[in-house]
Amino acid sequence: MTRQLHLNLFIHGRGHHEAAWRHPAASPLALTDIDYYTDLARKAEAACFDSVFLADTLAAGDDIASAPRTWLEPITTLAALAGVTSRIGLIATCSTTYTEPFNLARQFASLDHITRGRVGWNIVTTWLATASGNFGGQGPLGHAERYERAEEYMRVVKGLWDSWADDAVVDDRAAGRYAAAGAVRPINHAGPRYQVTGPLNVPRGPQGRPVFVQAGSSETGRQFAARHAEAVFTAQMEKATAKDFYADLKRLAAAQGRSPSQILILPGLSPVIGSTEAEAHRISRELNDLSDPEVGRKRLSGRFGGHDFSHLPLDRPLSPEDFPDPALVEAARSRTEVIVGLVRREKPTLRQLLGYMAGARGHFVTAGAPEQIADLIEDWFHDGAADGFNLMPPVLPAMLEIFAAEVVPLLRRRGLFRSEYTGMMLREHYGLSRPDAALPQ
Ligand SMILES: Cc1cc2nc3c(=O)[nH]c(=O)nc-3n(C[C@H](O)[C@H](O)[C@H](O)COP(=O)(O)O)c2cc1C
């Protein structure tokens, strides 16, 4: 079979555009209503998407009065979605900085059973500085420390998921034997940050481990992804940087002795789709007219670890000197590089930059007719920029519905995307092998 495209639906608020929650085409349901998520997951499943994904931040924004930044917690939400879907993969974000590894391993092993092998874990170190105020109050950890901690964390959780052999549970009622002798073992991890005895108290899930998804793009983030990630989300503002990122990550994974086919690169794509290009641009303008530059200014400040941008006028062209050096930012470093790179290239005013960021927070935004969106997807897919896309519809559910009805059939006609699922598990949708059940010695 020819190489197939992968599609993940990133569910975020009532859509990825900052003003989506106010747009007439957005869902009338509350963001706390499970029916909203059920509807989206079912629609994505009907279109044969590989997966849906929920992000997670660990603090309410300080602009909650004018921007919804809170919705349901991902793990519990995905558990609910497990019961109303049967094939689509379900990916939840969970933080290595603020979750005990035993809890996380147990929840994801449970989810893998509950979903019958459809769960993925978006591994994040939590860049948001204000999250630390909700967890012990010791202040935010630096970028390097977060990734070092995450590295040890991965050893612990992998050990826990592997602490049960695949066939450990014999459940032999007649003989009175539940688990095979020696098939469940402690891990006895004693590292600088974690001491975990194990074994896990949940048997190994159908996929062995959840599919590992990761989204850090800094130098350290890429090295981490090359070692652990099986799918990588990334924010790229243009095809050229997406190609560089793609080539770099495949190379780094190969240098770790991994097959490049076992690490999928899925850039974010936020398409405003109209029946004509002119209509798509009209919808874009409507969305931009609804957004508030002061909400955007606060969000920009958060990206740069709380840096104060309040003195910058909205209508003067920006220069890189208006921003802190991305290399010194302790928050989401790669996103700050994307933003400063755009400023260096295009010298937008702050208003223009905020307008662009309002689209999808620094991910690739485009507006066009279905044919144009399909062309773009095919071009990136065939030209070494993507193995698929993290679809970020600007307005939900409207732009997902249009994508499924108008773009997906074009992708199928071009032989790029499945018409039905061939496997049951997320690993199968993504073409990933199952990890060996290597019990610790
Ligand atoms: C598509 C996408 C989704 C992300 N979701 C989350 C999330 O839910 N929670 C979070 O704390 N960080 C999230 N991140 C941020 C990354 O995990 C990472 O912290 C960020 O990209 C900065 O990484 P870096 O410092 O290695 O550049 C996301 C990033 C991308 C591109």
Nearest CA to ligand 1 atom 30: 215
Q: How far apart are the first and last CA of the chain?
A: 40
Residue 306 has pLDDT above 70, yes or no: yes
Count other C-beta atoms under 10 Å from residue 43's C-beta.
Answer: 20
What is the band of 439 on the pLDDT scale with cuts at 50, 70, 90? low
Q: Three-state SS for 330?
A: coil
Ligand 1 atom closest to Cα of 55? 8
Average of per-residue pLDDT across 301-311:
90
Residue 69 has pLDDT above 80, yes or no: no
**How close is the Cα of 53 to the center of ligand 1, in Å?**
13
Average pLDDT over all residues of the chain: 94
Q: Residues 8-18: pLDDT tens digits? A: 999 999 999 99
Q: Residues 333-348: pLDDT tens digits? A: 788 888 999 899 999 9
Choose between 61 and 183: higher pLDDT: 183
Mutate to test the pocket of ligand 1, among 57, 77, 95, 127 (most ligand atoms within 8 A of CB): 127
Average of per-residue pLDDT across 114-123:
98
Cα–Cα distance list, 296 to 2, 63, 282, 339, 362 (Å)? 42, 10, 21, 13, 12
* Residues in contact with 214: Cβ distance below 8 Å, sequence separation at least 6, in sequence order: 122, 123, 124, 221, 224, 225, 228, 229, 231, 232, 233
The encoded tokens of residue 301 equal 């400040």
Quickly list H helices, 47-193: 74-82, 101-114, 143-161
Residue 176 has pLDDT above 70, yes or no: yes
Q: Three-state SS for 313?
A: coil
- Secondary structure element (H or E) that encloses residue 293, with its range: helix 293-303
Ligand 1 atom closest to Cα of 147? 26
- Secondary structure element (H or E) that encloses residue 178, with its range: strand 177-179
Average of per-residue pLDDT across 147-165:
97
Average of per-residue pLDDT across 362-388:
96
Distance CA 7, CA 406 (A): 15
**How close is the Cα of 269 to the center of ligand 1, in Å?**
15
Ligand 1 atom closest to Cα of 268? 1
**How close is the Cα of 249 to the center of ligand 1, in Å?**
16
Distance CA 165, CA 124 (A): 27
Nearest CA to ligand 1 atom 22: 332
Nearest CA to ligand 1 atom 8: 55
Helices and strands counted in the chain (H then E): 14, 13
**How close is the Cα of 332 to the center of ligand 1, in Å?**
7
The encoded tokens of residue 7 equal 């599609």
10: which strand partners? 53
Bond before 199 cis per omega within 30 degrees: yes
Nearest CA to ligand 1 atom 10: 126
Return left, alpha or beta for 154; rule: phi > 0 is left, psi -120 to 50 is alpha, else beta.
alpha
**How close is the Cα of 124 to the center of ligand 1, in Å?**
6
* Backbone φ and ψ of 199, nearest 5°: -70, 175
Q: Residues 223-243: pLDDT tens digits? A: 999 999 999 999 998 899 999
CB 395 within 8 A of CB 402: no
Ligand 1 atom closest to Cα of 235? 31
Q: Measured at the alpha carbon of residue 18, what is the angle toward residues 38 and 220, in degrees to the nearest 5?
A: 90
Q: Show the ligand 1 pocket: residues with CB < 6 angstroms.
A: 55-57, 93, 124-128, 143, 215-218, 220-221, 233-235, 268, 332-335, 390
What is the band of 215 on the pLDDT scale with cuts at 50, 70, 90? very high
Q: Three-state SS for 265?
A: strand
**How close is the Cα of 233 to the center of ligand 1, in Å?**
8
What is the band of 441 on the pLDDT scale with cuts at 50, 70, 90? very low
How much is the CA Rg of the chain, to the nearest whole Å? 22
Residue 379 has pLDDT above 80, yes or no: yes
Mutate to test the pocket of ligand 1, among 12, 54, 95, 125 (most ligand atoms within 8 A of CB): 125
DSSP string, 16-82: SSTTGGGSTTB-SS-TT-HHHHHHHHHHHHHTT-SEEEE---SS--TTTTTS------HHHHHHHHH
